[in-house]
């Protein structure tokens, strides 16, 4: 970013209105992305939240503690110039969506997956007009071209900033359908994350979870919730 340094040098970060949206200024100096593009944001709420991230920095600046700023930078520097590729990548998850691949055994896991994922498959068929085929095992099942086309259209309708948020929801959950359900208000993010972890929870209940696994799971959950927060602030 413009003015980026290892240590805090500014007194106050503020959200400001600019042509085309909003931005963040550090003592009046506009923040830029790592690629030196203008940090033009789609909403004042997002600008204020990013300004708060800057103001929360003390001493040495820690980019890892600024997830909203990182996501905004990604939307501008990465998603915007590669928009078609990002849409194709995200839509591609619909062809191998987590909710379509079910266990062959045991019966209890099969039932748990059905209870968690069948409502999402039904929602995709009705709300998204994208019926999906379910299979057991890991052998790929081909989805109907019309369904994949409608999922692609749904993704393509999002802004660059919304795509940046959706990207993390999809990548963390492994499911485009689940991510779209969160983005469109069908599911709360906490519940959605739990639905994406049915298999992991089954294994943990069966064999027990160690401290390292629990820590990794907590980090994934936090990242998923943060992606939802970014998506909500973009609107």
List, in order of start, the domains of the chain with CATH numbers.
1-65 (3.30.2180.10), 81-233 (1.10.3580.10)
pLDDT over 70 (residue 2) = no
Look at phi and psi of residue 10 and say left if phi exceeds 0, alpha if psi is from -120 to 50, else beta. Answer: beta
Q: Are 16 and 25 in contact (CB under 8 A)?
A: yes
Taking only the tens place, the pLDDT of each residue in 209-229 is: 788 888 999 999 999 999 999
pTM, two decimal places: 0.93
Instruction: Give the separation between CA 141 and CA 53, rounded to whole angstroms.
Output: 44
Q: Are 125 and 118 in contact (CB under 8 A)?
A: no
Residues with Cβ within 8 Å of residue 212, at least 6 apart in sequence: none
Question: What percent of the chain stands above pLDDT 70?
Answer: 97
Buried b (16+ CB within 10 A) or exposed e, 109-132: beebbeebbeebbebbeeebebeb
165 vs 5 pLDDT, higher one: 165
Look at phi and psi of residue 97 and say left if phi exceeds 0, alpha if psi is from -120 to 50, else beta. Answer: beta
């Amino acid at each position: 970013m413009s003015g980026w340094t290892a240590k805090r040098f500014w007194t106050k970060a503020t959200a400001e209105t600019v042509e085309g949206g909003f931005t963040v200024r550090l003592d009046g100096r506009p923040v830029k992305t790592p690629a030196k593009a203008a940090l033009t944001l789609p909403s004042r709420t997002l600008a204020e939240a990013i300004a708060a991230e800057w103001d929360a920095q003390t001493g040495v600046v820690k980019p890892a503690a600024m997830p909203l700023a990182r996501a905004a930078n990604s939307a501008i520097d990465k998603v915007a110039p590669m928009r078609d590729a990002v849409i194709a990548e995200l839509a591609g998850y619909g062809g191998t969506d987590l909710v379509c691949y079910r266990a062959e055994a045991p019966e209890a896991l099969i039932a748990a997956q059905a209870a968690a994922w069948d409502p999402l498959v039904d929602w995709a068929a009705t709300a998204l007009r994208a019926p999906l085929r379910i299979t057991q095992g890991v052998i790929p099942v081909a989805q109907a071209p019309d369904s994949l086309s409608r999922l692609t259209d749904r993704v393509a309708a999002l802004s660059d900033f919304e795509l940046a948020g959706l990207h993390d929801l999809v990548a963390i959950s492994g499911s485009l359908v689940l991510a779209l359900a969160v983005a469109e208000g069908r599911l709360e993010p906490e519940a959605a994350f739990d639905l994406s972890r049915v298999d992991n929870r089954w294994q943990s209940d069966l064999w027990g979870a160690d401290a390292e696994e629990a820590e990794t799971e907590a980090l994934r959950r936090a990242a998923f919730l943060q992606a939802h927060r970014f998506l909500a602030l973009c609107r």
